[in-house]
Copies of this chain bind each other. A is one copy, B any other.
Amino acid sequence: MEDLTKAEEKIFSAAKEEFIEKGFDGARMQAIADRAGISKAALHYYYRSKEKLFKKVVNFIFNMVFNSVKQKIEEKLSFEEKVHFIISMYIDTILQHKHMAFFLFSELMKHPQILDELIKKQEKITTLSAAYQAELEKGKIRSIEPRHLILNVVSMCIYPILGSPLIIRILGFSKTEYDAFLQERKEQVFEFVMKSLRP
């Protein structure tokens, strides 16, 4: 992101809050202006329309979330360590940006075209599936279709966090209990995956 003046900064952060809380349809330009402590006219002076402001916010949040997730996985790590690293990182990152992650998921579902503009490449899979291949040939793990493996891991990390408000109510957790439960999951999911991959 280019450098922003203080006014632009305040507006942008106000817009992030409003859009994350209310979504595109629910967000109000006046509410964004109020949060930023300026007039609605000034808001339009900086960001000409709701759509443009929204797209900038989505773009920013998308990059923020995906950059934190896409940290380099060090080459020297073993396959097992890589799996463990990916799981921990996914859970920590998504937990940290919970609201943003849900906002992204929700809005991108409604307007999937936005994704097309944002997605360039995604090498994460190859980096893991290469390590998987090597491990497989050493006979240390069983054979499995890599895309299913990836989707299994990602699902077990993301869904319990994305759907937490629902899951909490359905399984009868308290919020603090569920936070602890999600921390446990870092080890639990790792164990679940590695146990499944035994030859």
Residue of B nearest to A169 (CB): B115
Residues of B within 8 A of A185 (CB): 148, 151
Give the complex CA separation of A115 and B169 in angstroms. Answer: 8
Residue A76 lies at the interface, judged by CB distance under 8 Å to chain B: no
Known: A102-B109, A151-B167. Contact between A188 and B142, CB under 8 A?
no
Residue A105 lies at the interface, judged by CB distance under 8 Å to chain B: yes
Known: A156-B155, A159-B159, A170-B119. Contact between A106 and B106, CB under 8 A?
yes
Instruction: Mark contacts of A168-199 with chain B using CB atoms, 8 A cut-off: 1 yes-contact digit, 0 otherwise.
Output: 01110000000001001100110011011110
CB of A147 within 8 A of CB of B112, answer: no
Residue A71 lies at the interface, judged by CB distance under 8 Å to chain B: no
A31–chain B nearest beta-carbon distance, Å = 13
Give the complex CA separation of A195 and B171 in angstroms. Answer: 25
Residues of B within 8 A of A109 (CB): 102, 106, 163, 165-166
Known: A112-B169, A119-B169, A159-B159. Contact between A152 and B189, CB under 8 A?
yes
Residues of B within 8 A of A152 (CB): 156, 189, 192
CB of B195 within 8 A of CB of A148, answer: no
Known: A102-B109, A106-B109. Contact between A171 and B125, CB under 8 A?
yes
Residue of B nearest to A151 (CB): B160
Interface size on A, residues (CB 8 A): 47
Residues of B within 8 A of A42 (CB): none
A26 contacts which of B25, B171, B188, B189 (Cβ < 8 Å)? B25
Residue A158 lies at the interface, judged by CB distance under 8 Å to chain B: yes
Of A25, A144, A159, the most chain B CB neighbours within 10 A belong to: A159
Residue of B nearest to A193 (CB): B196
Give the complex CA separation of A5 and B122 in angstroms. Answer: 52
Known: A25-B26, A181-B147, A196-B196. Contact between A108 and B166, CB under 8 A?
yes
Known: A23-B25, A196-B193. Contact between A159 and B165, CB under 8 A?
no
